Amino acid sequence: MGVNLEVKGELVFESEEKCSEFFNRLGIDLRKGEKESKDLKVVDIREKDGRCHVRFEGRANWPSKISPPDEDPLNWLESQVVALIWDIEDLKSLEVFRAKDIKFEFYTEEEIDRKRDEYNKWWMESASNITSLF
């Protein structure tokens, strides 16, 4: 992931404890009210059905700071949460992962579908423009 690419989204943790432990590895102590590190900002946190939902934004490379060096950082991130949305507008890329049938707190199903359609349309138009050159 490019260092300067911006990402935003939502992480869903099984519990507040797992959420706190995760962010401590990034140098963010949520229990002390800290919400930022060099590459990541916690925008909002909500508890729903015993799970911890975190809306975030930051640089796209932030998971690589704490993921094992031999693993893809986004794949590793998926193993740490029960659900996530990973949105990089500059790349027209949207990743949605759910280990269970979880509703996101900060994103509606309609927003997710709209974003997917928007990005897919952009990619199809780009591919069409490229193929028309040949």
The domain containing residue 126 runs over which residues?
6-131
pLDDT score of 131 more than 70: no
The pLDDT, as a whole number, for residue 1 is: 47
Could you tell me if residue 14 is inside a domain?
Answer: yes
How many domains is the chain partitioned into structurally? Answer: 1
Could you tell me if residue 1 is inside a domain?
Answer: no
Could you tell me if residue 35 is inside a domain?
Answer: yes
In total, the chain counts a number of residues equal to 134
Q: What is the pLDDT of residues 34-93, one digit of tens each?
A: 999 999 999 999 999 999 999 999 999 999 999 999 999 999 999 999 999 999 999 999
Could you tell me if residue 111 is inside a domain?
Answer: yes
Q: What is the pLDDT of residues 77-117, one digit of tens each?
A: 999 999 999 999 999 999 999 998 899 999 999 999 999 99
d(CA 127, CA 22) in angstroms, rounded, equals: 39
User: The pTM is what?
Assistant: 0.90
Could you tell me if residue 107 is inside a domain?
Answer: yes
